[in-house]
């Protein structure tokens, strides 16, 4: 392949590394060589950089970060400095996306032309990093420090046209980006003017106050990555130091963060989320079905949320309820939500109205006969599900996908209520469904490859983090939650109080401890799940405290009382005397001498309860990979992303240590009935003995 094509004295260098033009070493070498050649080519007066395929570049190659720096030449920084120093003008032509290192490459050019729909952003902070190739030094020089810092700290992507007046682009166009970039490059060459970003000043009024204020707004969890603060420091350095000194600071900060355990965890989750999108088995080879029209059956808590998740992505939905009253209530909930969002400025009034209009209502199932996808979200009762799926089977078009949002029921059994079990799949959304990121896609024994490929595409379109799960009670997430809660209950019986357990887990990084989480989900709902679980596994031990809290009518936040008391208008839970007394009384009833339990023991027992069940789930092929389990817990259950997920943690500490600790718990002062709780998953024992990793376990071929 030639290094570049010359058009009217302009060399067009193409970034061509499918699928996303990641700027790993091979592409950087190609660019560097092409630049040298173009600079010494007398036919060339100016240079344009453009991307082939879907976009300019999605950024650096994070799998490369483990290699020593001196094997990486040219480094991104060296390449960017090379571009900036070019004596022939270099213009970036941006389309599709210019993210992370891709945007930093464009920042080093002397001018930028973007197609209006290009997605641009610096997402490094989400990986526990600062932009490390000049981003914190060049962006503030183009847009001003405030705008730059907001972009860097948010880690968000923005459409280029929303940044049209920011100084980032020289032109934003709806036309041919490459042609415009060539024209601009030729004009700059003729004018003989080259604007080097690193040479621009970076001034700001009241800079000191601005940076101090921004630091004060950052809420960093103890132990979490310091990257947000480091981003502030680097952008501040752009206002205080020379470009060169600022770059030095940025490079050093980047290197330190890259070697931190927090980055390891965040990178693991970043890669795991992408891996989880690989369709299972044959679904990789099939084309997804079109999804133009959808329906949701049941307009309660979940149904309204699911309908809004669809509408937010521009997908029309028909919402079906049992009768006019229930339908009116559901549609009012939706309208109120969008109106409220518009009032709070979270959504423009037009967008709120457009989303509301995408959701229509019906009480007659004939309204869904032509839908491509129908998602059931009615009561969690197998008889009701049976009725609904028989009706859907009778009315839906042959190629329609029939999905269930059940939390605990058997998707295979639900599929058998139809004559097309191959079209039935579980789509397990989390509450509130329009906000929570996680989507468990439950693959029934007979679910077809086409259906799997289609719903995985849907997950992406509606902005969810999807993970495929096989059929079992509670799928991946809720199944692991049961031993976690059982262990939390044992800790209560042995000597801890709810607030101590929650505080230990939250200090460790969980978004919420187990009891606060139960209060949020509803202790009546938790009770139903527990009863069902116990009916299938009567040997299991749950603390009676769970039953007592429910019996006291302490159903959680929604009634202002649960494991905690909730004062109206205040968010913070207040420890409850009544609950704490009941916990202490339960220990006495069991004849247990309450003892001091350290935070370390609480965290160890709860996190290993997750790991042991996760290993069983992996061994049974319910999860395709250990990293999928980590995605479920980080995206859906508030597990700290920077810790990488429960399975990553287990692998990091070593499986032999995991087993030793579990055996110590089994032999410790826990009560007798719970002893076999800690019998290790056979997979853990096997891997610990062979020294293999959880992350090399291959699930049996599916579909």
Report, as residue numbers or ranges, the catalytic residues. 104, 124
* Site map 384..403 versus ligand NAI, x via CB under 6 A: x---x---------------
The stretch among 316-324, 488-496, 588-596, 624-632 that binds ligand NAI (CB under 6 A) is 316-324
Of the pair 172, 472, the CB lying nearest ligand NAI is at 472
Are 124 and 223 in contact by the 8 Å Cβ rule? The answer is no
Pick the closest to residue 337 from 374, 295, 304, 289 (CA basis): 304
Residue 103 CA: distances (Å) to CA of 69, 124, 337, 464, 588:
21, 11, 36, 25, 63
Q: Is 303 in the site for ligand NAI (CB under 6 A)?
A: yes
Binding footprint of ligand NAI, residue count (CB under 6 A): 23
Residue 137 CA: distances (Å) to CA of 114, 398, 400:
21, 57, 52
Q: Is 374 in the site for ligand NAI (CB under 6 A)?
A: no
The CB-of-406 to ligand NAI minimum distance in angstroms stands at 4
The CB-of-330 to ligand NAI minimum distance in angstroms stands at 6
Q: Is 302 in the site for ligand NAI (CB under 6 A)?
A: yes
The CB-of-434 to ligand NAI minimum distance in angstroms stands at 13
Candidate residues 260, 301, 532, 652; the one interacting with ligand NAI per rule CB under 6 A: 301
Of the pair 210, 639, the CB lying nearest ligand NAI is at 639
Q: Is 51 in the site for ligand NAI (CB under 6 A)?
A: no
Candidate residues 104, 178, 264, 321; the one interacting with ligand NAI per rule CB under 6 A: 321
Q: Is 136 in the site for ligand NAI (CB under 6 A)?
A: no
DSSP string, 245-313: HHHHHHHHHHHHHHTSHHHHHHHHHHHHHHHTTSPPGGGGTSPPPP---EEEE--SHHHHHHHHHHHHT
Distance CA 459, CA 429 (A): 10
Q: Is 405 in the site for ligand NAI (CB under 6 A)?
A: yes
Candidate residues 320, 471, 486, 703; the one interacting with ligand NAI per rule CB under 6 A: 320
Q: Is 512 in the site for ligand NAI (CB under 6 A)?
A: no
Of the pair 67, 387, the CB lying nearest ligand NAI is at 387
Candidate residues 412, 431, 503, 652; the one interacting with ligand NAI per rule CB under 6 A: 431
Q: Is 361 in the site for ligand NAI (CB under 6 A)?
A: no
The stretch among 298-306, 340-348, 534-542, 685-693 that binds ligand NAI (CB under 6 A) is 298-306
Q: Which long-range contacts (CB under 8 A, 24 or more apart) does 524-529 make?
A: 524/550, 524/555, 524/556, 526/485, 526/550, 528/380, 529/407, 529/408, 529/474, 529/478, 529/482
DSSP state of 441: E
Of the pair 303, 645, the CB lying nearest ligand NAI is at 303
The CB-of-368 to ligand NAI minimum distance in angstroms stands at 11
Strands of 583-684 (E only): list them.
Answer: none
Pick the closest to residue 490 from 501, 476, 478, 477 (CA basis): 501
CA angle 176, 181, 187 (to 5 degrees): 130
Please provide residue 191's backbone torsions phi and psi, each rounded to the nearest 5 degrees.
-70, -20
Q: Is 378 in the site for ligand NAI (CB under 6 A)?
A: yes
Candidate residues 44, 207, 286, 326; the one interacting with ligand NAI per rule CB under 6 A: 326
Distance CA 609, CA 482 (A): 9
Residues 6+ apart with CB under 8 A from 406: 380, 385, 414, 426, 428
Q: Is 328 in the site for ligand NAI (CB under 6 A)?
A: no
Q: Is 380 in the site for ligand NAI (CB under 6 A)?
A: yes
Give residue number: closest CB to ligand NAI: 300
Candidate residues 94, 297, 496, 609; the one interacting with ligand NAI per rule CB under 6 A: 297
The CB-of-301 to ligand NAI minimum distance in angstroms stands at 4
Pick the closest to residue 532 from 491, 479, 607 (CA basis): 479
Scan residues 163-202 and list those touching ligand NAI (CB under 6 A): none
Residue 381 CA: distances (Å) to CA of 3, 62, 107, 384, 405:
64, 46, 57, 5, 12
Of the pair 141, 533, the CB lying nearest ligand NAI is at 533
Are 60 and 33 in contact by the 8 Å Cβ rule? The answer is no
Are 266 and 128 in contact by the 8 Å Cβ rule? The answer is yes
Residues 6+ apart with CB under 8 A from 194: 86, 87, 89, 110, 188
Candidate residues 199, 215, 244, 322; the one interacting with ligand NAI per rule CB under 6 A: 322
The stretch among 11-19, 38-46, 429-437, 457-465 that binds ligand NAI (CB under 6 A) is 429-437
Q: Which parts of this chain interact with ligand NAI (CB under 6 A)?
A: 297-303, 320-322, 326, 377-380, 384, 388, 405-407, 429-431
């Amino acid at each position: 392949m030639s290094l570049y094509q010359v058009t009217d004295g302009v060399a067009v260098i193409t970034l061509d590394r499918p699928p996303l033009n990641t700027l790993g070493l091979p592409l950087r070498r190609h660019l560097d060589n092409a630049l040298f050649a173009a600079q010494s080519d007398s036919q060339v007066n100016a240079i344009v950089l453009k991307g082939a395929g879907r976009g300019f570049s999605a950024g650096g190659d994070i799998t490369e970060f483990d290699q020593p720096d001196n094997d990486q030449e040219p480094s991104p920084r060296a390449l960017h400095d090379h571009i900036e120093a070019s004596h022939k003008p270099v213009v970036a032509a941006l389309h599709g996306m210019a993210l992370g290192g891709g945007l930093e490459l464009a920042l080093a050019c002397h001018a930028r032309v973007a197609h209006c729909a290009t997605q641009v952003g610096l997402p490094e902070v989400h990986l526990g990093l600062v932009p490390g190739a000049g981003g914190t030094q060049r962006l503030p020089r183009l847009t001003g420090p405030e705008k730059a810092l907001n972009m860097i700290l948010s880690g968000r992507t923005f459409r280029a046209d929303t940044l049209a007046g920011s100084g980032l682009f020289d032109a934003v166009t709806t036309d041919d980006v490459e042609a415009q970039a060539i024209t601009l490059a030729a004009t700059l060459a003729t004018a003989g003017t080259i604007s080097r970003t690193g040479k621009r000043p970076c001034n700001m009024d009241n800079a000191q106050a601005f940076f101090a204020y921004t630091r004060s707004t950052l809420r960093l969890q103890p132990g979490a990555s310091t990257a947000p603060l480091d981003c502030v420091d680097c952008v501040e350095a752009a206002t205080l130091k020379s470009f060169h000194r600022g770059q030095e600071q940025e490079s050093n900060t980047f290197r330190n963060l890259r070697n931190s355990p927090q980055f390891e965890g965040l990178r693991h989750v970043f890669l795991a989320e992408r891996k989880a999108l690989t369709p299972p088995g044959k679904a990789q080879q099939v084309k997804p079905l079109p999804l133009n029209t959808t329906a949701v059956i049941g307009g309660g808590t979940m149904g309204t949320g699911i309908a809004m998740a669809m509408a937010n992505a521009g997908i029309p939905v028909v919402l079906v309820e049992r009768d006019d009253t229930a339908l009116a209530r559901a549609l009012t909930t939706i309208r109120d939500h969008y109106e409220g969002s518009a009032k709070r400025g979270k959504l423009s009034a037009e967008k709120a109205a457009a989303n509301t209009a995408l959701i229509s209502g019906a009480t007659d199932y004939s309204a869904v006969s032509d839908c491509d996808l129908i998602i059931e979200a009615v009561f969690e009762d197998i008889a009701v599900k049976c009725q609904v799926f028989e009706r859907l089977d009778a009315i839906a078009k042959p190629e329609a996908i029939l999905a269930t949002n059940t939390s605990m029921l058997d998707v295979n059994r639900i599929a058998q209520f139809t004559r097309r079990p191959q079209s039935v799949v579980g789509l397990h959304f989390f509450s509130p469904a329009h906000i929570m990121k996680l989507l468990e896609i439950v693959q029934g024994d007979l679910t077809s490859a086409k259906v799997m490929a289609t719903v995985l595409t849907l997950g992406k379109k509606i902005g969810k983090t999807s993970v495929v799960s096989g059929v079992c009670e509670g799928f991946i997430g809720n199944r692991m939650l049961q031993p976690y809660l059982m262990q939390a209950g044992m800790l209560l019986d042995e000597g801890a109080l709810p607030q101590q357990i929650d505080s230990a887990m939250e200090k460790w990084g969980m978004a919420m401890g187990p009891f606060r989480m139960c209060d949020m989900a509803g202790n009546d709902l938790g009770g139903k799940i527990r009863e069902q679980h116990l009916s299938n596994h009567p040997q299991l031990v749950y603390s009676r405290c769970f039953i007592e809290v429910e019996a006291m009518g302490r159903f959680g936040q929604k009634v202002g009382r649960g494991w905690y008391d909730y004062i109206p208008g205040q968010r913070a839970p207040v420890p409850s005397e009544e609950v704490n007394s009941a916990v202490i009384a339960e220990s006495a009833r069991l004849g247990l001498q309450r003892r001091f339990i350290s935070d370390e023991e609480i965290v160890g027992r709860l996190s290993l309860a997750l790991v042991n069940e996760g290993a069983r789930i992996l061994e049974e092929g319910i999860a395709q990979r250990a990293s999928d389990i980590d995605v479920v817990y980080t995206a859906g259950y508030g597990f700290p992303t920077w810790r990488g997920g429960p399975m990553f943690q287990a692998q990091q500490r070593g499986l032999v240590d995991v087993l030793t600790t579990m055996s110590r718990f089994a032999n410790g002062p826990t009560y007798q009935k719970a002893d076999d709780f800690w019998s290790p998953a056979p997979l853990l024992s096997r891997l610990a003995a062979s020294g293999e990793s959880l992350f090399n376990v291959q699930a049996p071929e599916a579909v």
